[in-house]
Copies of this chain bind each other. A is one copy, B any other.
């Protein structure tokens, strides 16, 4: 099976793995040390991250070096864009976003 971007991010341990890769390439055992679960678990998390497009692998001798890829982060960012108006109150140069939201707002509240 193949988890989508958000499902992939749902597991805290997996986010720690992502965090461990935040500063550059790492081999599996480095991550094992950092997140504190069994090596097999880390391998599996990396597999899931790979399937979801979060990481690239590069063989280096007997090791495999994992690193982050941008695509799914961008996907989250895009998803977030829809909701930015919620907390970016002042519409400095984000007028377009809010405007778009206003346009399609329904009023269902009134009929009572």
**A residues lining the B interface (CB < 8 Å):** 4, 6-7, 9-10, 12, 15, 18-19, 22-27, 30, 60-61, 63, 65, 68-71, 73-74, 76-77, 80, 82-84, 86-88, 92-93, 96, 100-101, 104-109, 112
Contact = CB atoms under 8 A, between A and B. Distances in A.
Interface of A is mostly: mixed
- Give the number of copies in the complex: 2
B6 A106 contact: no
Contacts of A80: 73, 76-77, 80
Nearest to A82: B22
Contact of A112 (B23, B69, B109): B23
A30 B82 contact: no
